[in-house]
Amino acid sequence: MVKLTFMGHSCFLIEDSSFKLIIDPFLSGNPVAAMKPADLKVDYILLTHGHGDHIGDAVEIAKRCDASVISNFELSLYLGQKGIKKTIGPHIGGGCKLPFGSVKLTIAHHGSTLGSEVAYGGNPVGFIIRIAGKTIYHSGDTGLFLDMKLIGELDKIDIALLPIGGFYTMDANDAAKAVEFLRPRRVIPMHYNTFDLIKADAQEFAKKAKHHGSDCVILNPGESFTVE
């Protein structure tokens, strides 16, 4: 059993009976954040890329919780310079086994400056996360790409987390095409309605996802879904 809690924007807390993981912990300055960073207790932090709305409070949370941070190699070097002791920095197509299961890095078509610094953080990534016998795909910020077919072919995805907000990433139409490529059992939309620039209609997306055979689970910030 794996529990996912949507924390707002692209941030998800993932829990099994032993471990807590958080992806892209953008909470401070996030108008829809479901929790304060100081209230979090996690074992692992996964970062898709260096933009401020993804790296967020990662440095503070990692230091306070003594959490391991998993990101691409370049971002892991940067985090090391920021004083994070436990960094894990594999790269696209690779990954690693971890006490909760495993993580594999996928491509994502986007950029990655480092927080507010205009320095480059390597290629942005998505994650295939295996935990408690379930497979979760978090695409990170990305445009639609045909290789999503391959991602869906290599892994039976129990739940896909996809951006639908447009402007910086796929919009709901392209995300519906992503569902067709990935064929996940379920999909949760993310990276929308945080700001006016990325407004989207999740119900419209849900209809399109259903057409491609996936159940869409719409979570408001703070709401959870348990993958049985």
Nearer Cβ to Mn ion (53/171): 53
Residue 167: how many CB atoms within 10 A of its CB? 14
In the sheet that holds 224-227, the strands lie side by side as 87-88, 68-70, 44-46, 20-23, 11-15, 2-8, 224-227
20 binds, among Ni ion, Mn ion, none (CB under 5 to 8 A by kind): none
User: Cα dist. 138→78, 103, 120, 195 in Å?
Assistant: 22, 11, 22, 20
Which residues are near Mn ion by CB under 5 A? 53, 141
134 binds, among Ni ion, Mn ion, none (CB under 5 to 8 A by kind): none
Closest to 194 measured CA to CA, from 220, 224, 227: 220
The residues, ordered by sequence, that sit 6+ positions from 174 with a Cβ below 8 Å of its Cβ are 143, 144
- Choose the contact partner of 24 out of Ni ion, Mn ion, none; CB within 5 to 8 A by kind: none
Q: Is 75 or 98 the residue whose CB approaches Ni ion more closely?
A: 75
Distance in Å, CB of 53 to Mn ion, minimum? 4
Minimum CB distance to Mn ion, residue 143 (Å): 12
Smallest distance from the beta carbon of 1 to Ni ion, in angstroms? 31
Residue 179 CB, nearest approach to Mn ion (Å)? 20
> Which three-class secondary structure state does DSSP give residue 76?
helix
Measured from the CB atom, the residue of 52 and 80 that comes closer to Mn ion is: 52
Residues that bind Ni ion (CB under 5 A): 51, 141
By three-state DSSP, how is residue 77 classified? Answer: helix
Closer residue to Mn ion in complex, CB, 15/53: 53
